[in-house]
Amino acid sequence: MNSILLLSFGLLVGVSALNDDLLAEMKQKVAQIGLECAESENAPEDDMIALLNKRPPKTHEGKCILFCAAKKLGIMAADGSFGKGDDEWVAKAKSDDPDFVNKLIAAFEICKPEADKESDNCEKAYVLSLCNYKEYLKSGIFKYF
């Protein structure tokens, strides 16, 4: 579960420039959130398997796992508006690898307008994650996920 959340929301799990404690902190947080959201959204097992294998979910409930995680990570609010994420963690990460974090933020800014076209918040989180994936590939930061 945590791998898709990391992929979807651009949380840094494999960047060698970041210190191990910082990586462990986010990995633990994302793992906890993934478990909580999987339980709360009642997505079918096929969606859970897809997410674990870094593939997009097919059902609305599966997409709602992404929205649940986005809310818990501060990336989205309950009303579907966008947040900044974990400001404290991002500040620490930026001090270790500013170029990577700048690319991460740039992808988010590019993807927000596309995602914001969706009226359903689960669809919005889904579109955001797919767009981020494409932007990470373009910018060369996908290799770190």
Question: Which tens digit of pLDDT belongs to each residue from 49-70?
Answer: 887 777 899 999 999 999 999 9
pTM of the predicted protein model: 0.82
pLDDT computed for residue 14 by the predictor:
41
Q: Which residues contact 116 (CB under 8 A, 6 or more apart)?
A: 82, 124
CATH code of the region 2-144: 1.10.238.20
Q: Which of 53-57, 105-109, 133-137, 141-145 has the lowest mean pLDDT?
A: 141-145
Give Cα separations from 17 to 12, 37, 97, 101 (angstroms). 10, 30, 6, 11
Q: Do the Cβ atoms of 70 and 33 come closer than 8 Å?
A: no
Q: Looking at the predicted structure, is the pLDDT value of residue 38 above 70? A: yes
The domain segmentation of the chain, as residue ranges, is 2-144
